[in-house]
Chain A
Amino acid sequence: MNGKTALITGASSGFGREFAKLFAQDGYNLVLVARQQEVLQQLSDELTQAHGINATVLAKDLAQPDAADQIYLECQQQGIQVDVLVNDAGLSEYGKFVESDLRKELDTIQVNVTSLVYLTKLFLRDMVARNEGKILQLGSTLSLIPTPLMAVYGATKAFVLSFTEALQNELNDTNVTLTILMPGAADTDFFNKAGAEDTKVYQDTKLSKPEDVARDGYEGLMSGVPRVVSGFKNKVQAVGAGMLPGSLMAAAMRDLMEPYDPDAERKKKITQYTIAGVVAAGVLTWLALGRNRRSDWN
């Protein structure tokens, strides 16, 4: 037991659930926030028994405009001081914007952007007053890459990155730290919930394990690192995305977000290997000829 409390939104599944486990293992008391009361209660029972911590369950829907306020009030009423805030909750919607569901996208903005800003405001005020506290924001590698077929989702993550970096600067002179975790595609319920389970990125790329991503985020948060890009290939992508034009990144992302077609992919790979083979053969021939010619001169 370390007597400190971490509040985690989106704690019922995915990264949020893994964060809850990590904090519990280190003796943090927990405030678990998500929509589903029973799932949270189960997780709470599990973690309190295993680690002897206290856990509070708050079943709230962050798509509701007053949810953030209610969560803050609830903590105050129960006399809970939140030392660590983890803004993990997020929604998404897959499809061409002109066809995707507006209601779901408005909820996505409310959860990923508005409620995140709202919760950050309320808990950060108290942290700054105490000059102590930590906040983890869930960004994404998509924070840096416009995301066709998930245009609103990608934009919410761009929001989170810009917001977090501005706050990091504002909090330079305090002991309060903000960390943004930027995962790539991970094996959580995210793609199913968004209706994106058929995409190439989900079907045909190596997905990160949620426990690995959460571990990276947790360690970054604890040491007060500003930005954690989880996974090597995502780190490479993040560097590239910072330098390349948005339209180019969008085109690359579009390819990944299209439905996965194994036949087309196989053909594409054969073409790629053929081109590579021809180029290699050409280079070898050129080298060989060049050498011959040089030997002629000698």
Chain B
Amino acid sequence: MKINGQTALITGASSGIGYELARCFAQDGYNLVLVSRNTDRLNEIANEFTQQYGLGKVTVVGADLAQPDAPQRVYNEMNNQGIRVNVLVNDAGFGEYGMFATETDLQKELSMIQTNVTALVHLTKLFLRDMTTRNEGKILMLASVASVLPNPLMAVYGATKAFILSFSEALRNELKDTDITVTALMPGATNTDFFNRAGADGTVAHKQAMKTDAADVARDGYEALMSGKDKVVSGMMNKAQVAMSRVMPDPFITANVRKQMARPSNGNGQHEKEGKKQMATTGSLVGAVLILGIVALAYYNKARYTDFKLSDLHL
């Protein structure tokens, strides 16, 4: 049992991976700032953590990050209360399921961009400035395997996650000479309220999600964050899928995701078909990993013997 005096601010802390991340911090004696729209639920969580772990102080901030002024309000609130944020966890986000041209709700998609992208950039800007002044801090970004896999039937969601990964990797490079680290957590389908909220219940991906516990994903993210890793793909199958995305052509990858996003029709052949698909996928994965290994080895050798930079090739 320890109290470490540091504070972690977690957006989207009322449920899912955000909630489980908050628990990781609570267990390690961090003070918490929990941000979400649902302050009732946040207060419950605050009580729960205080009773269970009783270590750090828990502050609840009600904010809807789909509102453009929310990040500034959250930041001001911290200043007013004299809270220094040592760890920022940008977890808040949601999806919207359906064909973009004919089915999905534009207003929901605009709110999604505001929450997943704009608010994330805005919060990062505000808190990173202070971290830079102190030369100390950690940021966790909720990316996804969808960051590297275009996501039909969730086209906007997948794109917001592609944004987050690119942004995180660029930022990490900019901060390489500082003591501030940026970590991207890339989960696959996880057993949270995500699919119901997106209207994607009953999809193949939703069924897969049932097998992955949000607590395990959060643990992977927390450990990567604490050790300052650049990114972590949670889960073996997801790691393989991400590796595969590097060597397979995009239309193939995209079509594969499309299958995962479909709602399976109820039939007897379904089980068999899924089994075959798994085998085919595993086969491709082994091939992909082999190719990756060769590429990595070739690169490693090259990098060992020369001060190799891609730009030296004048691409």
Q: Which of B101, B106, B159, B315 meets A162, CB within 8 Å?
A: B159
Q: With A158-B162, A256-B311, A275-B306 given, is the CB distance from A97 to B102 under 8 Å?
A: no
Closest to A156 in B: B163
If A159-B163, A162-B158 touch, whether A146 touches B295 (CB-CB below 8 Å) is no
Shortest beta-carbon distance from A232 to chain B in Å: 10
- Indicate if the CB atoms of A148 and B174 lie closer than 8 Å: yes
Partner of B152, one of A150, A157, A161, A166: A166
Report how far A255 CA is from B166 CA in the complex, Å: 17
Contact-size category for A = 35 or more
Residues of B within 8 A of A194 (CB): none
**Most chain B beta carbons < 10 A, residue from A96, A105, A109, A275:** A109
Residues 222-246 of A, flagged 1 when their CB comes within 8 A of B and 0 if not, give: 0000110000011011001011101
Contact with A along B4-15 (1 / 0, CB 8 A): 000000000000
Q: Is the CB of A161 within 8 A of B128?
A: no
A117–B171 CB distance below 8 A: no
What A residues does B315 contact at CB under 8 A?
233-234, 236-237, 240
Q: Which of A203-255 contact B (CB under 8 A)?
A: 205, 226-227, 233-234, 236-237, 240, 242-244, 246-255
- Rounded to whole Å, the gap between the CB of A148 and the closest CB of chain B is 4
Contact with B along A269-296 (1 / 0, CB 8 A): 0001001000000000000000000000
Are B121 and A159 in contact (CB-based, < 8 A)?
A: no
| Partner-B contacts on A (CB < 8 A) | 96-98, 102, 105-106, 109-110, 113-114, 117-118, 120-121, 124-125, 127-128, 146-152, 154-163, 165-171, 176, 205, 226-227, 233-234, 236-237, 240, 242-244, 246-256, 272, 275
Which residues of chain B from 230 to 276 have a CB within 8 Å of any chain A CB?
230-231, 246-247, 250-251, 254-255, 258
Smallest CB-CB separation from B102: which chain A residue?
Answer: A128
- Alpha-carbon separation in the docked complex, A17 to B309 (Å): 35
B154: chain A residues within 8 A (beta carbon): 166
Contacts of A253 in B (CB 8 A): 170
Residues of B with Cβ closer than 8 Å to A? 99-102, 106, 109-110, 113-114, 117-118, 121-122, 124-125, 128-129, 132, 146-147, 150-156, 158-175, 230-231, 246-247, 250-251, 254-255, 258, 295, 299, 306, 309-312, 314-315
A113, A237, A250 — most chain B CB neighbours (10 Å):
A250
A-B contact count (CB 8 A): 195
A248 to B303, CA, bound (A): 11
CA distance A157 to B170 in the complex (A): 13
CA A236 to CA B163, docked complex, whole Å? 23
Give the residues in chain B near A159, CB-CB below 8 Å. 117, 159-160, 162-163
Bound CA–CA A166/B250 (angstroms): 10
Tell me if A109 and B121 are in contact (CB < 8 A): yes
The 8 Å CB contact of A233, one of B118, B231, B250, B314, is B314
User: Cβ of B306 and Cβ of A170 under 8 Å apart?
Assistant: no
A97 and B171: CB pair below 8 A? yes
Given contacts A105-B125, A160-B159, A170-B100, contact A165 B165 (CB under 8 A): no
Q: How far, in angstroms, from A250 to B165 measured CA to CA in the complex?
A: 12
Residue in contact with A255 in the complex, picked from B124, B231, B251, B309, CB distance below 8 Å: B309
What residues of B have a CB within 8 angstroms of the CB of A227 in the complex?
Answer: 250
A243: B residues at CB distance < 8 A: 246-247, 295
- Residue in B113, B170, B254, B310 with the greatest tally of chain A CB atoms within 10 Å: B170
Check if A250 sits within 8 Å of B170, measured CB to CB. Answer: yes
